[in-house]
Amino acid sequence: MTTQRRVIPIQKQSANAARSKVAYDCTKCPAYCCSYPLIEVGKRDIARLAKHFGVSHGDAERRFTKYDPGAKVRGLRHQQDEHFKQVCRFFDTEKRRCTVYEARPAVCRDFPDGKRCGYYDFLLFEREQQGDPQWVATT
């Protein structure tokens, strides 16, 4: 007697369907994730940035990244920011947007790895408590 295994097909969702289930809006956030002390990048990320800027891989690595000896990885360089002290060097601190969105590293593409963003939820709560839709919670 053979036992048949039941297979449940995985249906791919369209990009629009997947986005509609997301419970955060990055355009209404001051970009807390861009303030992480280490935004890790790999060789593919550096190659993507090199292509974006029309420079060699070595030039992109030197100009845009730094080695973190504690984590033993390369990370994006940072710049000063009025809200979070430091943010990713590719972050436009006036418009609060990524300047290399099409070439952003994989870690940025995958963040927050779910339907919800904890900081965005916190930000909405704080804005509601302050009665100010522009409030930027920095804690």
- Condensed to tens digits (0 to 9), the pLDDT of residues 53-112 reads 999 999 999 999 999 999 999 999 999 998 889 999 999 999 888 999 999 999 998 888
Measured CA to CA, the distance from residue 131 to residue 138 in angstroms comes to: 16
- Maximum average pLDDT range among 14-18, 66-70, 130-134: 66-70
Share of the chain above pLDDT 90, in %: 50
Please state whether the predicted TM-score (pTM) of the whole model is above 0.85.
no
Q: What is the pLDDT of residue 11?
A: 45
- Strands of the chain (E only): list them: 40-41, 65-68, 73-76, 78-81, 85-88, 91-92, 97-98
